[in-house]
Structure 1
Amino acid sequence: MSKPTTRQPPLVPDALPVLGHAAQILRDPLGFLTSLPNYGDLVRIKIGRQQAYVVCHPDLLAEVLLDDRSFDKGGPLIEKAREFVGNGLAACPHREHRRQRRLVQPAFHRGRLPAYAAVMSKHADVMTSSWKNGQDIFPVEEMYRVTANVIAATLFGTRMTDAEVTEIRQAMGVLVANGFRQMLTPGPLAKLPTPANRKYAHAKRILFTTVRRIIERQRNARSDGSILAALLESRGEDDAFCETEIYDQVLSLLVAGIETTAYVLTWCCLLLAHHPQCQERLHVESRAVLGGRVATWEDLPRLKSADRVLTEALRLYPPGWLFTRTVTRDTRLSGYPVPAGSTIVFSQYILHHRSDLFVHPEDFDPDRWLSPSTPCRPRDGFFPFSGGARQCIGNNFAFTEATLVLATIADRWRLQDCESHRPIHPVARIVLVPPKRPLRVHRRPGPGVDNEPNNHEQPELRLES
């Protein structure tokens, strides 16, 4: 029997004294990450004096995702995220995860999705009916507004004020922009009272204050079908959420439900405007299904093209593009020893852009998802919502919302990229941020598209019995 190896995974070259690879990561994080598979399936990088193991192969990723006890939520990215999303389901350690997920799961039961979808359709209708022919819009702003309104209605059973949407968006913009840089900054430097650090701390306070104000306002006047109501329903049970835990769950759901879905929809709009033929195919399908009306829950099975566009956007530009885990016991990966306390890094962006997994990985090609050979599971290399026990609990909610909004846009409007000569580049922060780029909207002729905004009352949410 061969003796287990004690050698280390290859160290990525060109690490600098003191800084390690931090300068390369800050300068071009996506380019740096996509180069790592060239050095091995499991490689080491250095950030300052610390080292991390980067998973570059789907088989190793499957090991990490399926063993969340040995590879627990932790590491610099998760620790930084906990500063502004709390210790809710998205960031809590393994010892708390099963209980939290069991208590949150009823709020995302599939039986609730039709009622949530009615709210999504309503806000998609309002947004797409408010645009004017020939108007220039910034999709990142429009999508942020519609996802914020959907989350407010489904999470709290209310509507956020424009001021609250602005407060949350501005605070999250600072936290997302500076959080990634802070993750790479040594601890003592991150606490210095520099202008950037003070701005970061102020943004955290604004976010906490705004979210707490919304929770308190709706505590006694909440809809019976809101997600918050479902979380509060279990308060009389022995293992129910305490007040702090409810706040952490709401904060996590609010941030994830607005930020990530808004960015996915923004990428879809930018990519479709940049690829007119793909946009026309999506319009033909959406018009055949919708005929000018808003997309609804019942339409989802027939919106196959919208599904493929969204899936391809998630492959190219997954909002959650980088994650860290902490190793809780001495273990092995790819035959190498990985000691307890080590940091594991894995990235959707690395695997989604591997040419041995996806043909022409840099191309926007929704039709690649027509092929049964295209990887579609974490162990194959596709995991936009993570995987295993820590898979995003709101993935069906988010995909339903994005499909309804995207199909409604495609049916009613043609998106023109006024700067088509300029390539589209993502900005790597804690999430993958699309550029603030204008698109011109042109009204599609046909029934239903000239209607005024539908200002009917918000559909009432009711719990499934």
Structure 2
Amino acid sequence: MACHPELAHQVLMDPRTFDKGGPLYDRLRQLMGEGVVTCPHHAHRRQRRLLQPDFRASRVADHTDMMGREAEAVCRRWRAGDRVDVSAATMAVTTRAMNRVLFSDSLGSAAAAEVRECLAVIVRGLFVRTAVPVDALFRVPTPSNRRYRDAVGRVRAIVDEVVAQRRLGGPGGGRRDVLDTLLSAARGAASPVTGQEVRDQLVTLLLTGVESTALCLASALDLLARHPEAERRLHAEVDSVLAGRPTPGPDELARLTYTRCVVDETLRHRPPGWLFTRVTTEETTLAGHRLPKGATVLYSPYLLQHDPASFAEPERFLPERWLPGQAGAVRQGAMIPFATGSRKCLGDTFALAETTLALATIAGRWRLRHLPGHRERPRPAATLGPRSLVMTCEPRAQRPADAARGARSLTPRATAAARAQDSRTAGDNGVDDA
């Protein structure tokens, strides 16, 4: 177990020696195949080069209006005093967004709902299969094993159906989505992509892009309800930046400085990807200990990001620690929920933008409150975050002029825009460890 940031970086910056593997990735490969998250080191560069253009900052900017609209479409149906299943709502937001990015909205509402239900079953079953790596136990036709197999099969079948329908339509069609990128590569002569790889990549991006981002957003809403001062500062900034508009766009994203701090602190406090494994491909040394070939090495963003040697008061939720000028208060390299190096998360910029925009959109309309007697009961799973969070929604009375005066001290627009290109935005942290 790599329990120090320098050791974690040694592992992550040398993917040739510390390759994707171990119980977690063995199980993920059964689910995702050899996609960009799970493929071995020798196959990663080609896959990443193929997919990277769809997740560059310029493409993410093209999606910002869509991200806000999808969040607004979900929360506009809420009514004052409603009990809202926040976990389901955030999953709906991220499923709708990934549907557009991957498939240009080719998933119908029924298929999208089925994907969300299947993901809940898969994530529960995946952790058990990782913690208890005895295959024979999961071949027994128990109800839970059947549910898991059925969920995996349905997600694959849904993706296969979308791909088949697109193939029938032929090339072109004016779509600029990941499926079009993959099918264009499959038709290429230089380094053709197989039909199996098309499916593996789509299943990988669908699963990682929906669940982890939804958990981050739900955790942020949960934590804000527990910390009224942070919630007040967030609302002041949102009211000032949006100035009565229902959703933020690309220009507003750069100005949502404190909102982004809330997202960063949520990722530190409750990283959805909380534990990962690597496997040594040759004999090596780590922290003076000899590791034979085939040794499993673990690292935990949760552990590293709750170390008091790296973060003052690590158990407190303090978005202010990420404001410009506060970088000296955080040990460099300790914030790695998106990993780092050549295998840092492919979709980190997308996930950060989506979470920030969705949080601002919801906070512009609603204040969410815990039900009386609510107690947090974290349960171990493949990812970390609230899966059955129900809250009461209260409408907000926005006063943009007053909010602008209250938010003026946060950060000028020029600083916020520059900050959008800092090392964290560039991909040194995130959700999925892709």
* TM-score, reference length from structure 1: 0.81
Structure 2: distance between partners of 1:164 and 1:376: 44
| 1:119-138 equivalent positions in 2, closer than 5 A | 119-138=66-85
1:46-101 Cα distance to aligned partner (Å, 9 max, x none): xxxxxxxx111111111100000000011110011111122100100001001111
Give the structure with the higher percent helix: 2
Equivalent residue, structure 2, for 1:311: 264
> Pairwise mapping of residues 293-304 of structure 1 onto structure 2 (< 5 A)?
293=245, 294-304=247-257
Residue pairs, 1:336-351, within 5 angstroms: 336-351=289-304
Partners in 1 of 2:331 and 2:253 — Cα distance? Answer: 19
Deviation at 1:435, TM superposition (A): 3.9
SS at match of 2:335: coil
Is 1:278 equivalent to 2:217 in the alignment?
Answer: no
Matched residue SS, 1:89: coil
Structure 1 stretch displaced more, 438-447 or 292-301 = 438-447
For residues 276 and 244 of structure 1, what CA distance do their matches in structure 2 show?
A: 49
SS at match of 2:327: coil
Runs (4+) of structure 1 exceeding 4 A deviation are: 220-223
CA distance 1:397–1:98, shift in 2 (3 Å): same
- 1:256 pairs, out of 204, 208, 216, with 208
How do 1:368-387 residues align onto structure 2 when only pairs under 5 Å count?
Answer: 368-370=321-323, 371-375=326-330, 380-387=333-340
1:204 to 147, 152, 160: 152
Residue 198 of structure 1, CA deviation = 2.5
Work out the CA distance in 1 between the residues paired with 2:215 and 2:174. 28
Cα distance in 1 for residues equivalent to 2:100 and 2:141? 38
Q: Report the counterpart of residue 320 of structure 2 in structure 1.
A: 367
Shift of 1:192: 2.9
Q: Which aligned pairs between 1:39-188 and structure 2 lie closer than 5 A? A: 54-185=1-132, 186-188=134-136
Residue 424 to residue 285, structure 1, CA distance change in 2 (3 Å): same
User: Relative to structure 1, is the Cα distance of residues 285 and 329 closer, same or farther in structure 2, using a 3 angstrom cutoff?
Assistant: same
Match of 1:431 in 2: 383
C-alpha distance in structure 1 between counterparts of 2:88 and 2:68, whole Å: 18
SS in 1 for 2:26: helix
**Residues 219, 68 of structure 1: CA spacing in aligned structure 2 closer, same or farther, 3 A cutoff?**
same
The DSSP-based 3-state class of the residue aligned with 1:97 is helix
Q: What SS does structure 2 have at the residue aligned with 1:55?
A: coil
Q: Which residue of 2 aligns with 1:228?
A: 179
SS of 2:190's equivalent in the other structure is: coil
1:287 aligns with 2:220: no
Gaps of 5+ in 2: 401-434
> Equivalent residue for 1:456?
none
Q: Match for residue 306 of structure 2?
A: 353
Counterpart-to-counterpart distance in 1, 2:128 and 2:370: 31
Task: Give the CA deviation at 1:159.
Answer: 4.8
Q: Which residue of 2 aligns with 1:48?
A: none
Question: Which of residues 431, 441, 456 is equivalent to 2:393?
Answer: 441
Cα-to-partner distance string for 1:111-136 (whole Å, 9 max, x where unaligned): 21222112112212222322212222
1:301-347 CA distance string (max 9 Å, x none): 11011101001111111111111111000000001100001111111
**Larger Rg, first or second structure (1 or 2):** 1
CA displacement 1:334-388 (0-9 Å, x = unmatched): 01100001111111111011121111211111112232224375xx211111111
Distance in 2, matches of 1:62 and 1:391, equals: 11
Aligned equivalents of 1:404 and 1:147: distance in 2? 12
Q: How has the CA–CA distance of structure 1 residues 132 and 381 changed in structure 2, closer, same or farther, with 3 Å as cutoff?
A: same
- Pairing partner for 1:321 from 257, 274, 292: 274
Indicate conservation of the 8 Å contact 1:273/1:439, yes or no.
no
8 A contact 1:315–1:382 mirrored in 2: yes
SS at match of 1:441: strand
Structure 1 residues not aligned, in runs of 5+: 1-53, 449-465
Q: Are the equivalent residues in 2 in contact too, given 1:123–1:146 (CA < 8 A)?
A: yes
Q: 1:123-165 CA distances to partner (integer Å, 9 max, x unpaired)? A: 1222232221222211111111111111111111115323212
Question: Contact 1:427–1:435 at 8 Å: present in 2 too?
Answer: no
State the secondary structure of the residue aligned to 1:67. coil
Asked whether 1:410 is paired with 2:410, we answer no
- Offset at 1:395? 0.4
TM-fit CA distance, 1:212: 1.5
Query: CA separation in 2, counterparts of 1:203 and 1:436?
Result: 19
Distance 1:128 1:175 in 2: 26
Tell me, yes or no, if the aligned pair for 1:312 and 1:366 is still in contact at 8 Å.
yes
Using the alignment, how far apart are the partners of 2:330 and 2:276 within structure 1?
20
Provide the secondary structure at the position in 1 that maps to 2:367. strand
* Number of aligned positions between the proteins: 392
Counterpart residue identity of residue 51, structure 2: V
The alpha-carbon deviation at position 220 of structure 1 amounts to: 4.6
CA distance in 2: counterparts of 1:447 and 1:120, whole angstroms: 24
Q: CA deviation at 1:423?
A: 3.8
Kept after mapping to 2: 8 A contact 1:327/1:344:
yes
Contact 2:216–2:385 under 8 Å retained in 1:
no
RMSD between superposed Cα atoms in Å? 1.8
2-structure distance, mates of 1:184, 1:154: 33
Aligned to 2:348: 395
